[in-house]
Amino acid sequence: MQYLENEELHKFPKAKIQLFAPSMATFLKHNETSICRDVLGQMPDLAENRTTHVFIPVNSDEKTDHDLDSYRPSDLSAGTHWSLLVISLIDNVAFHYDSLDGVNKKDAMQLLTGIEAALPVPRTLRYVDMHDSPQQPDGWNCGIFAIVIMKHLLLKRLLRADANQKITMSMRDEDIDYEGARKMIRALIEERREEALSRK
């Protein structure tokens, strides 16, 4: 996500698209309006109602996982499944892409409730499960699927579209090369690590 934000999205200075870090999404799931407003307030374009789209990774952790009053080490978990929520503030629609169809629906809707309450301009966001989202064939590549779907929608749809062009948010018939994506991410990490070492 940091790579997409700093090295890809950065090339489109006029784009008003926000990528939420996973930690921010966790705060928003608390559904405490003051916390949500503090989180959204860190993004000037969003706070001033200039953002068009928001990309948010959704984790299957529970609100109770972060309740420090009843904290038990065995309960505190980062969750086991990732999906992607894309909110179009132009159309007031939230698209949920889940590579294990339906597993993170409750978490995505909980997150959406927190965002709705904290937006600078009151609005109702319609939730849409994207049932044509590519499905993972195993139990461990959900994060890769979320990242690849995010990259595809961002770089090949939203940032390439003409202002008057209708954009489809469907991922129907889009194949996910998750093994290739893992290799690409590893190569990026190694490349940036070598750059950092050479600067030292």
Task: Note the pLDDT tens digit of each residue in 159-168.
Answer: 987 766 788 9
At residue 57, the pLDDT reads 94
Confidence grade of residue 74 (pLDDT, cut at 50, 70, 90): very low
Confidence grade of residue 156 (pLDDT, cut at 50, 70, 90): very high
Count of domains forming the chain: 1
Write down the mean pLDDT value for the chain. 85
Q: Give dist(CA 178, CA 145) in Å, integer.
A: 7
At residue 40, the pLDDT reads 78
Task: Note the pLDDT tens digit of each residue in 100-110.
Answer: 998 999 999 98
Crossing angle of the two packed helices 178-199 and 142-151, in degrees rounded to 10: 80
Backbone angles phi, psi at 187, to 5 degrees: -65, -40
Angle at 5 between CA 157 and CA 193, to 5 degrees: 125
Q: Residue 159 in 3-state DSSP?
A: coil
* Residue 43: domain span: 2-199
Q: Would you say residue 78 has pLDDT above 80?
A: no
Mean pLDDT, residues 7-25 = 89
At residue 47, the pLDDT reads 74
What CATH number is given to the structural domain containing 45? 3.40.395.10
Q: Would you say residue 73 has pLDDT above 70?
A: no
Q: Give dist(CA 150, CA 175) in Å, integer.
A: 13
